Amino acid sequence: MNQLDTTEMLSLFQTTKEQRVNFVEEIIGRIEQGELDPLKIHLQIKSMEEMIGNLTSNSNYKTYLLDAAAVNGKAFDYQNAKFNIREVGIKYDYSLCNEPKHSHLKLIADSANEQLKTYEKFLQAVPSSGFNQVDLITGESYTIYPPSKSSTTSVAVTLK
């Protein structure tokens, strides 16, 4: 196989939705048949994800992309995709509002969130058998149990 340059490599991934679905199905099938090593495939995927993340978060790349898209208008079709220029990730800075009610509510919310985190850590430490507690106001007795816990087993990869 001839050495591909960067542009030629990227063009391999310029596909239709059907081609992308077929690509995934083929990889899964070849893993099931024992033709491909899932560890090697996962390493390759993680490497691609890192490269894609680095590229799409690069401010120069974002500027070039926006400039190129702006030539075509706010919404346009390009090859097998629809492109739209729009505002994303809108954030508000309320610190400039100089509004005391918002500041007071924010203080209450932050305090409540901190108390909730602390209490949740306490509940996580409760033994599985639970323990009895008495409400000092009503005198009612009840048993506290730890929260249920669930997780998914996965393979973590750290690229070198």
Using the predicted structure, report yes or no on whether residue 1 has a pLDDT greater than 70.
no
Total residue length of the chain: 160
- Looking at residue 98, its amino acid is N
- pLDDT tens for 21-54 read 999 999 999 999 999 999 999 999 999 999 999 9
**If we measure between CA atoms, which residue out of 54, 26, 56, 51 comes closest to residue 41?**
26
Helix (H, G, I), strand (E, B) or coil at 159: coil
Q: Which amino acid, one-letter code, is at 134?
A: V
pLDDT tens-digit map of 47-83: 999 999 999 999 999 999 999 999 999 999 998 899 9
Cβ-Cβ contacts under 8 Å for 12 (sequence gap 6 or more): 4
Ranges of each domain in the chain: 6-84, 97-144
pTM tops 0.75, yes or no: no
